Structure 1
Amino acid sequence: MFSPEGPRLRELAVQALSSVEHGYDLLAPKFDHTPFRTPDSVLDATTEALRSSGPFDAGLDLCCGTGAGIDVLRQVCRGSVTGVDFSTGMLTVARERARPQGPAVGWVRADARALPFGPVFDLVVSFGAFGHFLPRELPGLFTQVHSVLRPGGRFVFPVVAPPRPGSLTYGMLLGFDAVMRVRNAVRRPPFVMYYRAVRFGDMGRELTRTGLRVELRALPEFGRRRDGSPRVRLVVATRPGAGRSAAGPVDA
């Protein structure tokens, strides 16, 4: 799960007892050596899917962390690229590790629930951030995304099919969420990081209620489950209006 360069158990304990912001400030130098970082395979598959419907102009990586999604945007955007996160530590590491090739990158420290932008982006991506938002926060979060998209702009993010009940992965995620709930019941400020709190169906409904047109695209690199459903999908939520049409075939 963790490479030798990753955080030790004591470091993880200190981070988990902090606020989300401070915890990720502490984790930032070693974040890329943890399983919390989106795998390169998912980033690469997302890049290829976006290439088939690009290029785009201005791109935003929502909750950019150490900048893994920035590399995706720089390959599919011909204009400006921006990373936004509320962790100063994450943004510092992202700046240090940014590659020199491609469009210039702007880094902004801000809360995703109060984005300091107008409708200036053609593409917004996000990787692995939704576990830091409670279900009741989704409407406000998606309203913010809608507000920064130009007409025809897209909000794109990958989703992995949930593990089957009874599987080892299912048990591990269930146990992790239970530990976090106990921690947040006895200590403040809370550390919001839940793997099972935000459900895919809820996200789709809230995106639609926000006014975005939601379509799904299977990422064929990851194959299908026994029931025939894709293991990994790309959610493409488009703000209606003039501009590009939604990307790719729909695979629900």
Structure 2
Amino acid sequence: MRKFLYLTTMLGLFILNGCSTKKEAIVVSNDKGYILYNLNDNNTGQNVYEQVSSLNSVDENNINTEHLHILNFHWLHNHYGKLYSIVKKDGKYGIINDEGKFIVKPTFEFISKLYNDFFIIKEDGKYGYLNDDFKVVQKPIYLDAKEFSNGIAFVKFSNEKWGCISDDMKVLLYGKFDGIFPFINSFARVINDDKWGFINSKCEIIVEPKYNYVNNFCGDTAKVLLNDKVGYINNKGKEIVSTSLVYGQNLNE
């Protein structure tokens, strides 16, 4: 027999977890999983989910759906006024609205939080993107994928190297590097075969990986290390202080 929480308990969770919406949608649990109820709609509450992962607002982080034991009851009004939640059903992830209807069918192995207008999705071991209209704008074809920032995302291509795509899903830089670090001051450090270099905010290579290590840019210059000697480069990748100084300090200083 299903054991539903008493109304007072539900309201307590409702208050503690900030579950209110304009349509009074709440989440309750029974012995089989979690159920969404819209108190204004008698047709909700028919689907049982293994997980209900929710969002607070378009500018805040969703819970990490990799931690399947965590349940967050917070709901999101995105900038189109839609309410939705990421759910897990029959081992797959999808997205429902506050009426409990699927707006993204549960076919994915993973759906990330919404960040800068995109969800990262995973299907058959490959990664792609879903936009905030819940449309697949990039079928899962990449070995890995990162969040978009300033219109650019780093993705891992079939050659197991990292490159860049734009937010209209065009390839800006085909897989070239073993790793790409986040943009700092409009430049990102890249590494290949244990050598370091830089790309700019257009994913153009300004320094091929050749240094033993590089610092992030500070203003228009970055400190670099080559063969235990320190130098400086400008934002065009040109050495303005040759790597001829004896390395006798921490490169981060």
TM-score range, shorter chain: under 0.3
Rg comparison, structure with higher value = 2
Looking at both structures, which has the greater relative contact order when contacts are Cα pairs under 8 Å and sequence separation is at least 6?
1
Which structure dedicates a bigger proportion of its chain to strand?
A: 2
Which structure dedicates a bigger proportion of its chain to helix?
A: 1
